[in-house]
Every structure is written in structure tokens, then in C-alpha cells.
Structure 1
């Protein structure tokens, strides 16, 4: 039962990543969030296959899993997330060079942090992950406040709760192992995957609400008008 719940949590994150990532690209032309969502989904797919094949730490799938994990925890669901959400909070539209630079930085971080893999605690990288998550949480608190101000109170509460859960996972990840969990940390990863999938879903819905509000108030063109402009 525990393993089944774990797989369901992973499948939820995979679905949310691919489905809403594609919507970010197709509907809003937001490649930062769309690609990052899909990267998270790809990471979850790799993690699921690795787990089903026995979870061998010597497998190349584990190397891939660690890379994706470092990619998103360091830059993906921090800097790239903030840059992408700023499109609806500050009308920020990064250049192609900025998009490429953000993902190049994430790739470099993922490769560099590979050296700290292993079961032992590496305080430096673990602290770095918590700090960048905390900084991102500050922006997400502002993001939730913006939702509240446009009277999307349900989404504001949802975004705040999803962010709080994500922060709890970030702090627990390295520093506070769950008592009674197995050697594969099945309970922790079940909670983490369910939380991350929910964040992908809630942040998309919140982005949509702010986008629609901006369109209604004339602050930005509709998605259809943007498509015509690109054509």
C-alpha cells in the first residue's frame, strides 16, 4: 500500500508537469514555466522507472535523478519559477538570451552539485537549497497577496498552503529525516512528490487567474491577441 501511494504521488506530479507545462507554452507562450514544469515531470518519470527497477544507486538512472533534483532545487523552482511568474505580476518578459541563460545556469548547477551526492549530509549544499527556497518563498508570499487583492481568495490560500508545504519539504529534505521511514525514504518522497505536483497545479491556476485579471483590466493582451501578434 505504501509503495502504491508513492507511485500515485509520482504519477500525479508527472501529469501536472506535462499537462500544465504544455498549457503554459501553448496558451501563454511562457517557455520558462512550461519547460521547467516539463523538466519536473521528466524527473518524476525517470524517478518512477528507477524505483520500479529496484532503486539501484549504481544505476545511470540514479545519476539522472540526482541531476534533475539539483537542477530544480537550485535554479528551476527558484529563479526560473520567479522569472516566469513575474510575467503576470510585473509584466516581465525576459529576452530569449535571458531564458537560455537561466536554463544554462540550472544545468551548470545540476552538474556541479553532482559531487555532493551520497547518503551523508553535505551541510553547504543542503543549506544553499534551503536559502534559495526561502528567498523564493518570499516572492511566492507576494504572489499569493496579489491573488488576494484581485479577490481570488481561494487560489491565494491554495498558493500560500502549497508554498508552505513546499518549504516544509525543502527543510525536511536533508536536515530532518522522518522517523520510522525506510531506507528508501518512501514516506518522505511520497509527501514530496504529492506536494510538488500540487504546487505545479496551484501555481498554474493562480497564474491563469492573474493573467485573466490583467487582460480584463487592459494591463496585457489576451492569449489570442498575443498569438496573432507573433504570427
Structure 2
């Protein structure tokens, strides 16, 4: 039952990442969020294959999993997430060069930080992950407040709860192992994958509500109008 819950949570995160990532790109041309969502889904796919093929620590998939984990925890679901959401909060539209630089930074961070692996606790990197998560959470609280102000109160509450759950996962990740969990931390990862998938789903609908409000108030043109203008 524990393994089944882990697999279901991972499949949920994979679906949410690929599905809503593609919708970010197709509907809003938001490549920062779209590609990051798909990277998280790719990470989940790698994690799933690794688990189904035995979960050996010496597998190359194990190293890839640590790279993806460091990629998103350091820059992906922190800086890139904030930059992507600023499209609807501050009308911030970075250039292709800035987009590429953000992902380049995430790759560099992932390559460097993936060396700090369990079961040892690496206090420096673990603290860094918590700090960048706290800073991101502050922006996400502001994002939820913006949703509340425009009347999307249900999504504001949903985004707030998803953010709170993700923050709890981030703090628990390195510093507070779940008592009774196994060596591969199956219980923890089941909860984490479920939360991360829910985050990506809720943030997409929250983004859509903020975008629609901006269009309705004339702050931003409709998505189809933007596409026509580019053509």
C-alpha cells in the first residue's frame, strides 16, 4: 500500500507537470513556468523509472534524480517560479536571453548541489534550500493576496494552502525525517510528490484567473491577441 501510494503520487506529479506545463506554453507563451513544470515532470518520470527498476543507489538514474532535485529546489521552483508569476503580477516579460540565463543558472546550481547527498546531512546546502524557499513563499503569499483582491478567493485560499504545504515539505526535507519511514523515505516522498503536483495544478489555475482579470481590466491583451501581434 505504501509503495502504491508513492507510485500514484509520482504519476500525479508527472501528469500535472506535463499537462499544465504545456498549457502555460500553449495558452500564455509563458516558457519560464511551462518549461519548469515539464522539468519537474521529467524529474518525476526519472524517479518513477528508478523506483520501478529496483531503486539502486549506484544507478545513473539516481544521480540524475539528485540533479533534477537540486535544479528545482535551488532555482527552478524559486527564482524561475517567481519570474514566471510576475508576468501577471507586474507584467514582467523577460527576454529570451534572460529566460536562457535563468535556466542556465538552474543547471549550474543543479550540477554543483547534486553532490550533497543523503544520508549525510549537509547543513550548508540544506539551509540554502530552506532560505530560498522562505523567500519564494513570501512572494507566493503576496500572489495569493493579489488573487483575493481580484475576487478569486477560492483560488487564493487554494494557492495559500498549496504554498504552506510545500513550505512544510521544504523544511522537513533535510532537517526532520519522518519517524518510522524507510531508508528510501517512501512516506516522505509520497507526500512531497503529491504536494508538488498539487502546487503545479493550483498555480496554473491561479495564474489563469490573474491573467483573465488583467485582460478584463485592460491591463494585458488577451492571449490570442498576443499571438497575433507576434505573427
Alpha-carbon distance, 1:114 to partner: 2.1
The answer to whether residue 168 in structure 2 is matched with residue 168 in structure 1 is yes
Q: Does 107-116 or 75-84 show the bigger shift?
A: 107-116
The answer to whether residue 150 in structure 2 is matched with residue 145 in structure 1 is no
Q: Distance in 2 between matches of 1:7 and 1:90?
A: 38
TM-score, normalised on structure 2? 0.99
Q: Distance in 2 between matches of 1:79 and 1:118?
A: 25
Alpha-carbon distance, 1:118 to partner: 3.2
The answer to whether residue 23 in structure 2 is matched with residue 23 in structure 1 is yes
Q: Distance in 2 between matches of 1:20 and 1:186?
A: 26
The answer to whether residue 180 in structure 2 is matched with residue 154 in structure 1 is no
Other structure's SS at 2:7 match: helix
| RMSD of aligned Cα (Å) | 0.5
Q: Distance in 2 between matches of 1:216 and 1:52?
A: 47
Q: List 4+ stretches of structure 1 deviating above 3 A.
A: none
- 1:1-231 residue pairs with structure 2 within 5 A? 1-231=1-231
Alpha-carbon distance, 1:123 to partner: 0.1
Q: What whole-Å deviation, never above 9, does each CA across 1:93-143 have from its counterpart, x for those lacking one? A: 001110000000000000011221231000000000000000000000000
Count of equivalent residues: 231
Q: Distance in 1 between matches of 2:116 and 2:41?
A: 23
Q: What whole-Å deviation, never above 9, does each CA across 1:81-100 have from its counterpart, x for those lacking one? A: 00000000000000111000
Q: Distance in 1 between matches of 2:86 and 2:114?
A: 30
Other structure's SS at 1:54 match: coil
Other structure's SS at 2:114 match: helix
Q: Does 108-117 or 149-158 show the bigger shift?
A: 108-117
Alpha-carbon distance, 1:230 to partner: 1.2
Q: Distance in 2 between matches of 1:79 and 1:115?
A: 21
Q: Which runs of 5+ in 2 are unaligned?
A: none
TM-score, normalised on structure 1? 0.99
